Amino acid sequence: MKESQEVYERISDQFEDFTSHASQRGVEVDTVRYMVHDLLGGVAGDAILDLACGHGFFSRRFKDWGAARVHGVDISPSMIHQARQANDGIAYEVRDVAQMGEIGQFDKVTAAWLFNYAGSVEELRRMFQAVALNLKPDGHLIAYTANPTFDLARGNFTDYGIRVLDEQPVEGGFRCQGQFMSTPPADFTYYRWHKSVYEQAAHDVGLRNVRWIAPLISGIRKKAHPAGYWDLFEGNSLQVGLICSR
């Protein structure tokens, strides 16, 4: 996780450019909205803990979708500084999720692009432990992460905003070198853990009903690009949703 902190301190401006222009970003929003609203009944009146909140992109959306309280956490001081500039009534703080412990009780914990920065299976388990400690009974985790079934040999993800440069096997998955297709491009390291590793980590901390959710590409987004543009995304996605409950 410390490695990701150093990366995002270095590339915070490029990352904001990436999130503003990459076509995959709209798919992330649509998929998270689908998980939150269609599968879990929405966030109206809820207290939300947004882990790996970055500069507050999803934190602000949860508030817009009706959450009563949103608390954003990120390991990068630069990202949190940017988030606070919005003066949006959301509490933001710098924390390492793997070392966080309990900071409150929340109806839902969200984690878009958190688990893929766990540097080991044990660190992933500690992240799940932090989720469990901060979830109310019957609360839900909504996550978005690197897809365990992605196959680089079938094609890269460059057209959608990320180029995978290299993947090396490690215990429990792959250590990957990637590049945000920002201006200029920004290199970063992430991990693609096996499904069984995620599911075991959730089970070990008392989370249940793990479900994997394929990215949702709306008809509007399909019409905005040439025919066939989304074929690789749908057939070999680098990203996937995950939900479970306490």
Give the whole-angstrom CA distance, residue 108 versus residue 46. Answer: 7
DSSP letter at 160?
G
Tokens for 218?
């709306």
Q: Per-residue pLDDT for 216 more than 90?
A: yes
Residues 133-157 have pLDDT tens digits of: 999 999 999 999 999 999 999 999 9
Q: What is the pLDDT of residue 121?
A: 98
The yes-or-no verdict on residue 100 having pLDDT over 80 is: yes
pLDDT in tens, 105-138: 999 999 999 999 999 999 999 999 999 999 999 9
pLDDT at 3 over 60: no
Work out whether the CA dihedral 69, 74, 78, 79 comes out positive or negative.
Answer: negative
Mean pLDDT across 177-198: 92
Residue 104 clears pLDDT 80, i.e. is over it:
yes
CA angle 96, 98, 102 (to 5 degrees): 85
Task: Quote the CA–CA distance of 36 and 147 in Å, as a whole number.
Answer: 19
Position 91 pLDDT exceeds 60: yes
pLDDT at 183: 81
Distance (Å, rounded) from C-alpha 198 to C-alpha 28? 20
Task: Please report the domains of the chain, with CATH numbers, ordered by start residue.
Answer: 2-245 (3.40.50.150)
Helix axes 2-21, 23-33, angle to 10 degrees: 100
pLDDT band at 14 (very low <50, low <70, confident <90, very high): low
Residues in Cβ contact with 130 at an 8 Å cutoff, skipping those fewer than 6 apart:
51, 97, 98, 100, 101
Check if the beta carbon of residue 132 is closer than 8 Å to that of residue 207.
yes
pLDDT, residue 9, reads 54
* pTM as predicted: 0.92
Task: Please tell me the distance from the alpha carbon of residue 87 to that of residue 73, in angstroms, as a whole number.
Answer: 16
Structural Rg of the chain based on CA atoms: 17
* Range from 6-10, 163-167, 183-187 that averages highest in pLDDT: 163-167
Q: What is the arithmetic mean of pLDDT over 153-182?
A: 95
For the chain, give the percent of residues with pLDDT over 70: 91
